[in-house]
Amino acid sequence: MPETQSLVSAATRIVRRNKRYVVWFYLMNLLFAWWGATAFAIHAHSMLDNSLYADRLVRGFDLAVLLEMLGRPEFGPMRASTVPAMVFAVVFFVASLLFMPGVLLGYASDHRIPGEEFYRACGRNLWRFVRLFLFFAIVAGVVVGILGAAEGALVEAADKTSYERLPFLTDVISLAIIGLLLTLGRIWFDIAQTDAVLRDQPAARKSLLSGFRLLRGNVGRLLGAYIVMAVVALFVLAAGVYLWHVMVPSSSVFGAFLVSQATVLLLLTTRFWQRAAAVSFYLRKLAEPSGESATAEAMAAPVS
Amino acid sequence: MSQRYRLISCLIGASLAVPALAQAQAGGATIPDTSSAINSWKPLSQRVVHYEIEARYDAKAHSLEATEVLTYHNLTGQPLDTFPFHLYLNAFQPTSTWLREGKREGTRGQDFKKWDPKSYGADEIKSFEVVGQGDLTSQLQFIHPDDDNKDDRTVVQAHLPQAIPPDGYVQFRIKFHDQFPKTLERTGWDREAILGGQWFPKVGVWWHNAWNCHQFHAYTEFFADFGVYDVKLTVPQDEVVGATGIEVSKAKNPDGTQTFTYHGEDIHDFAWTASPHYLDYYDTFQGSMGPVKVRIMMQPGHLGQLERHRMAVLETMRRFDEWYGPYPYKNLTVVDPEPGSQSFGMEYPTFITAGTTWWMPNGLYSPEQVVEHEFGHQYWYGMVATNEFEDAWMDEGINQYTEVKVMDSLFGPYTSFLNLWGITAGEREGNRLFLVPVADLDAMAQNGWQYADANSYGGVTYGKTADILLTLESLIGEDTMRRAMHTYFMRYRFTHPTKEDFLKTVEEVSGKDLRWYFNQAVYGTQVLDFEVLKISSVPVDWYKESLKEEKGKTEYISNVWIHRKENFILPVDIEIKFDNGEKLREHWDGQDRWIRYAYQKKAKVESVEIDPDHTLHFDRNNFNNSRRGEPNGKAARKLADYWIFCSQLLAQALAWWLV
């Protein structure tokens, strides 16, 4: 537990020292989402701006008005609004994949790294990260596929009992287990990515091996830190939505925007917090005397 | 004795002789004229049938063995030698009309791809005897009056060797075996629970000089004669049982079973339920005809919602009693069915099923809505027993209208369905949304099985009828509409009224000729869509170079164009608001396709609104019913912000797990 605490504290210091990354990623997230929402906004403006009926969306939130708007032929098909949002979500993912090596490098450094170094790290590690992503997608796909099928069977069996909540509880517990396993996988790949960047390791399999070895000996510590941060993220989301509901008048568009964006920013911060934890953990392992583990030997290469 | 007296004697003799002959045929049976299940000293309906059923339910096999003695009183005024019967559990087989329609339409409960034959339903007649005429089992024939589906076995017909004379009685002794289906819709078993609806051979209705006995359809299933029901039901001892009518007795049997005896009067159907899990709660409603014992059978996991169910049923009963007329039965059973069962939201005389889930939040009034709706059917189906097959709007639609009235009065007009976390939705808007996509497909006055599809049936039968009646309310006044509904109920309860009976009652009570409205709304497929086509405000001195527009000083010529886009013709009010705060009301008869209003004022038009009191409930597009002089993007910005927030969360979730 103390080790987890120290990891969380160290990660907090790293994130605080490198706030700019969170801000830049947040702005990127906002920009892409804004682009993704353009089609929706255009359609909404064309339907609502001239109509008094739209006031029922401003004074409160009348679901019937929203549904009627979405159902009108002149609003266009829903996919005209959802597809751009999804496309830009993918673009954000790709951008995150592209820029994350620079962030990891920055997190490992005790000084502000120059932009040139940041982008060089991004460029050098792009394909490594793509390969690691593909590995992770396969591993996660297998885990989710197998456990998802088991979950489906369990829920179906639970549905045959007269205890109505059992299918729901089965679902929640199953999803928690899947989430936990995926988090383990995420930690593994986070460390592997850190290894790829900090050791300038071109072979993804070596980074994966290194990540796996480090994780194997420190599961409790790492998982504890990641779970703490994930719980904080859930709390942030719940608190944000709650504050939005109780504090922001329904007619205050700007107020809703502020609260929603603060929520998104804090949510993003928690993920960077996890990243920082992985880097901090990796650096500590690097600093430990060599020979303690095979992993340490594998880390003999200099940090770029 | 004079010739005149001889004639009278002959007539009296003949009138006595016919029933005597019939009673002889029926073994001297008559229909009971008891009144133990109703708050009335005399029968309330013309009792045509008396069902005496003894049934033994096998909970493990979900099957039932029963004997039925049906006494039928021939009040048709002519001899009858054929009798059709419903065998509706036979619908739960792959080749039935119900399933074919359901598969075609994708209706509730029929969206499965595989169907285990163990889950089929069946209603098999083991023997069919007509008292005094012998066993006719081998002569029974399945008929299919509504379609060409020869595989449908939901209606069977018996041809009697001897006709039953007018006012005569006939008695049928039927042994039958039921195999209940796993509940796909309406009736059947789920886990350890059973909801027994449409479970016994039921005779059709002689209506408009012909038998009216439709097949079991995807959307419609009810039409039967009033009478008396005496049912003995034997089930395992661990079952909690509820049923139509009053419980007369309950006895434990040595074989581990128990037998319940139920008695119902002036009803036209009988349903029951059994499950080891029900928890019983009782209350009393003091109705204007006497006390009504209300029994609520809850699922253990839903006890936290007992008060919601209790409030919904008692408050609905109170409003119906005040607004439309008394509930005359001595009891009402509200069943909270097995979780996830498709037998939720069903109506049977004095017996309804609700529907909820353990997680139902307080601001989502779905349980209240279902309870209200199904209780409403005690009036619009139960007592005013319209032909659901041919006039479904008079059953579901009128009930939907009264649902809006009750739910609005309980929870407020714009929050009567949802009022949760700042998100709201009203019942009447819901009905309109139901209607909008199918507004031009079908008329309300149409056979239930001949609608274009499930959406059209639902949108028109439920949504359109409610909207049409809500709009009618604005045409004749809310009080007048309520009086019309009251008159309709009191006049036609315990009968089988037609659509014209209803429409003429509204015209009579309102003192207005409403044919122009009914022809479009009930018999037609006309669509209503008004639009503010455009507005303009041009300075009178537009040509002067020195013109400098000043609010309150510059004079404008303003024009407002109102357009009737579709073919439903209806008068409408229009409100024009000027930027000096002045408001004007215009009344347009809506006869032409468009109308233009012109004004000369020291003010510009700020906004125009068609139907400013929001009394038209079936306009296809509410967005074009108003127009601002200057656009206001606040609503769109708000929605766009929400959209951005959701997109950001989606993007972050993707990046969270994959990067």
Q: What is the pLDDT of residues A89-140, one digit of tens each?
A: 999 999 999 999 999 999 999 889 999 999 999 999 999 999 999 999 999 9
Q: What token pair was written down for B243?
A: 């049923």
Q: Point out the residue among B302, B628, B647 whose CB comes nearest to the CB of A36.
A: B647
Residue B10 near chain A (CB below 8 Å): no
pLDDT band at B4 (very low <50, low <70, confident <90, very high): very low
Tell me how far apart the alpha carbons of residues B577 and B627 are, in angstroms, rounded to a whole number: 10
Is A168 a member of any domain? yes
Q: Is B494 left (phi over 0), alpha (psi -120 to 50) or beta?
A: left
Residue of B nearest to A186 (CA): B657
Chain A residue with CA closest to B356: the answer is A164
Q: Are B424 and A60 within 8 A, CB to CB?
A: yes
Give buried/exposed letters for A268-277 (b at 16+ CB in 10 A, else e).
bbbbbbbbbb
Whether residue B385 contacts residue A208, with contact meaning beta carbons closer than 8 Å, is answered with no
Distance CA A276, CA A16 (A): 10
Find the angle CA(B244)-CA(B248)-CA(B252) to the nearest 5 degrees: 105
**Is B646–A85 a contact, with Cβ atoms under 8 angstroms apart?**
yes
Q: Which of B623, B598, B601 shows the shortest CA–CA distance to B610?
A: B623
Q: What is the pLDDT of residue A70?
A: 92
* B27: confidence class by pLDDT, cuts 50, 70, 90: low
The predicted pLDDT at position B17 comes to 39
B69: tokens are 């003695």
Residue A297 lies in a domain: no
Examine residue A129 and state whether it is found in any structural domain, yes or no.
Answer: yes
Residues 6+ apart with CB under 8 A from B202: B51, B85, B86, B88, B224, B269
Q: Which residues contact B437 (CB under 8 A, 6 or more apart)?
A: A71, B455, B459
Query: Does A298 map to a domain?
Result: no
* pLDDT digits 0-9 by tens, B193-244: 999 999 999 999 999 999 999 999 999 999 999 999 999 999 999 999 999 9
Query: Which residue, chain included where needed, has tokens 């014209």?
Result: B500
Strand partners, B86: B155, B202
CB within 8 Å: A41 and B277: no
Taking an 8 Å cut-off on Cβ atoms, the answer to whether B192 and A162 are in contact is yes
Q: Do A63 and B644 touch (CB under 8 A)?
A: no
Residue in A37, A51, A85 closest to B626 by CB:
A51
- The yes-or-no verdict on residue B10 having pLDDT over 60 is no
Contact A96 B433 (CB under 8 A): no
Give me the residues of B, 191-210, that contact A with CB < 8 A.
Answer: 191-192
Whether residue B110 has pLDDT greater than 70: no
Query: Is residue B555 over pLDDT 70?
Result: yes
| CA angle at B605 for the pair B600 and B607, rounded to the nearest 5° | 150
pLDDT at A155: 93
Residue A230 is encoded by which pair of tokens? 């994930």
- Which residues between 187 and 246 in chain A have a beta carbon less than 8 angstroms from any beta carbon of chain B? 245
Looking at B602-651, which runs of residues are DSSP E strands?
605-610, 626-628
Per-residue model confidence (pLDDT) at position B657 = 80
Contact between chains at A88 and B357 (C-beta distance less than 8 A):
no
Q: How far apart are CA A256 and CA B547, in angstroms?
A: 42
User: Which residue is listed with tokens 């430990």?
Assistant: A288
Residue of A nearest to B646 (CA): A33
What's the distance, CA B217 to chain centroid? 15
Asked, for residue A41, whether it belongs to a domain, the answer is: yes
pLDDT of B363 > 80? The answer is yes
Nearest 5°: the CA angle A103, A108, A113 is 65
Question: CB of A162 within 8 Å of any CB in chain B?
Answer: yes
**Mean pLDDT per 10-residue segment, chain A (304 residues):** 78 94 96 94 94 93 94 89 92 94 94 93 94 93 94 92 91 94 94 94 92 91 93 94 90 93 95 95 83 45 42
Residue B562 tokens, joined = 């109102």
* Contact state of A186 with B657 under an 8 Å Cβ cutoff: yes
Nearest to A58 among B277, B607, B634 (CB): B634
Q: Which of residues 413-432 of B touch A (CB under 8 A)?
A: 414, 418, 421-426, 429-430, 432
Residues B572-598: b if buried by 16+ CB within 10 A, e if exposed: bebbbbbbeeeeeeeebebeeeebebe
Interface of B with A in 175-194 (CB under 8 A): 191-192
Residue A187 falls inside a structural domain: yes
> Does residue B49 carry a pLDDT above 60?
yes
- ipTM of the assembly? 0.92
Query: What pLDDT does residue B29 have?
Result: 80
- Domain span at residue A82 reads 2-288
**Model confidence pLDDT, tens digit, residues B118-131:** 889 999 999 999 99
In angstroms, rounded to a whole number, what is the distance separating the alpha carbons of residues A258 and A256? 5
pLDDT digits (tens, 9 = 90+) for B63-102: 999 999 999 999 999 999 999 999 999 999 999 999 999 8
Q: Out of B277, B424, B652, name the one closest to residue A29 (CB).
A: B652
In whole angstroms, give the CA distance from residue B468 to residue A286. 76
- At residue B645 the predicted structure's pLDDT band, cuts being 50, 70 and 90, is very high
Q: If you average pLDDT over residues B132-150, what whole number do you get?
A: 95
Q: What is the mean pLDDT of chain B?
A: 93
Cβ contact B609–A52 (<8 Å)? yes
Mean per-residue pLDDT, B416-441: 94
User: Do B134 and B41 touch, CB atoms closer than 8 A?
Assistant: no
For residue B656, what pLDDT is reported? 84
Residues of B whose CB is below 8 A from A44: 635-636, 639-640
Instruction: Choose the mutation target among A25, A58, A91, A162 for the interface with B, i.e. most B CBs under 10 Å.
Output: A162
Q: Which chain A residues are Cβ-neighbours of B648 within 8 angstroms?
A: 29-30, 33, 264
How much is the pTM?
0.90
A301 assigned to some structural domain: no
Q: Answer with the residue of higher pLDDT: B220 or B14.
A: B220
Work out the pLDDT band at B114, boundaries 50, 70, 90.
confident
Nearest to B422 among A32, A160, A250 (CB): A250
A198 CA to chain B: closest CA distance, Å?
Answer: 17
Look at residue B33 in the predicted model and tell me its pLDDT.
93
Rounded Cα gap, residues B367 and B334, in angstroms: 12
**Residue, of B10 and A202, whose pLDDT is higher:** A202
Percent above pLDDT 90 for chain B: 90
Establish if A299 belongs to a structural domain.
Answer: no
Q: What is the per-residue pLDDT for B102? A: 87
Q: Is B218 helix (H, G, I), strand (E, B) or coil?
A: coil
Distance CA B382, CA B349 (A): 5
Give chain A's domain count. 1
